[in-house]
Amino acid sequence: MLNQFVPDQYVPSIYDISIEELKERGIKGIITDLDNTLVEWDRPNATEELIEWFKKVKSYGIDIVVVSNNNEKRVKHFSDPHELTFIHSAKKPMTKAFNTACRLMKINKHEAVVIGDQLLTDILGGNRGSFHTILVVPVAKSDGVFTKFNRRMERVVFRWMERKGLIEWENEKKNAE
């Protein structure tokens, strides 16, 4: 059961994901979380660095769909200026939104990756749907109310993963601080 929480990859940020390698692996779509994955949960707009990342991803012919548990207003305000397709109120870790994202991109799940900062929503949902999952370190050190509970639960899973030698996430976080 706990194996469902283990990501296929983990990186410090989206900027550490090799778009070239994704393209070489046949990836045609990125399904990404928004809050604390792309920008801080309380930042309304994309940073200049993120806008450049969007352009780079698109230049490789890879589509992006933002899949967020947040409300429509938040996700639309963020996504529309960059002409990003989005799914709000996604109910992650349910898999329906991930599958819908693939249909919107007209690809199959083996041509997509799921990127997110939370084990209990992004990674669990992606793994349950048989997607390649990439866990990133949260952009912000603070979280919204609902996420704070998830973070406590994640710490238990992280400790299990560390004991099993599956991930060195906590050591990387400590070294970064």
pTM as predicted = 0.84
pLDDT of amino acid 107 = 98
In the predicted structure, residue 167 carries a pLDDT above the cut 90: no
Residue 138 structural domain: 2-176
Q: Which of 5, 16, 37 is CA-nearest to residue 137?
A: 37
In the predicted structure, residue 126 carries a pLDDT above the cut 70: yes
What domain count does the chain have? 1
What is the rounded average pLDDT for all residues in the chain?
Answer: 88
Q: What is the pLDDT of residues 15-71, one digit of tens each?
A: 999 999 999 999 999 999 999 999 998 899 999 999 999 999 999 999 999 999 999
The domain that contains 41 carries what CATH number?
Answer: 3.40.50.1000
* Share above pLDDT 90 across residues of the chain, in percent, rounded to a whole number: 68
